[in-house]
Amino acid sequence: MRSIATLSRLAYRRSMFVLSRRSAHGHEVMNPGPPVTLDYMPIPYRPYKAVYNELQTKFNKYLAISAALLVVSLTLAISENVFAVEALRPPLSYRIRNK
């Protein structure tokens, strides 16, 4: 008798979970506002070539700085033997190892 009561209690808990999950479909979506039209598009006020050149010089600086930092970090990593270059090389001759 106890097992039936326990099973019915567990079934009731399970049904409440399923019901609460199924009733989650009725939520309302927030209104994002009026639809976007061409009136909201920005109007360019500077020549394209001038803006392009400014942005290109900025991005070229970023590229040069990042390439320099990459070279510096790889140089430091190789000098500190982070990549275990000696372990990856083929073994040296016996004479060179035992000088």
- pLDDT tens profile 2-13: 677 666 666 666
pLDDT value of residue 73? 97
One-letter amino acid identity for 57? T
pLDDT value of residue 7? 61
3-state secondary structure 68-89: HHHHHHHHHHHHCCCCCHHHHC
Mean pLDDT score of the chain, rounded to an integer? 81
Residue 52 has pLDDT above 60, yes or no: yes
pLDDT value of residue 14? 62
pLDDT digits (tens, 9 = 90+) for 18-32: 555 555 566 677 788
3-state secondary structure the chain: CHHHHHHHHHHHHHHHHHHHHHHHHHCCCCCCCCCCCHHHCCCCCCCHHHHHHHHHHHHHHHHHHHHHHHHHHHHHHHHCCCCCHHHHCCCCCHHHHCC
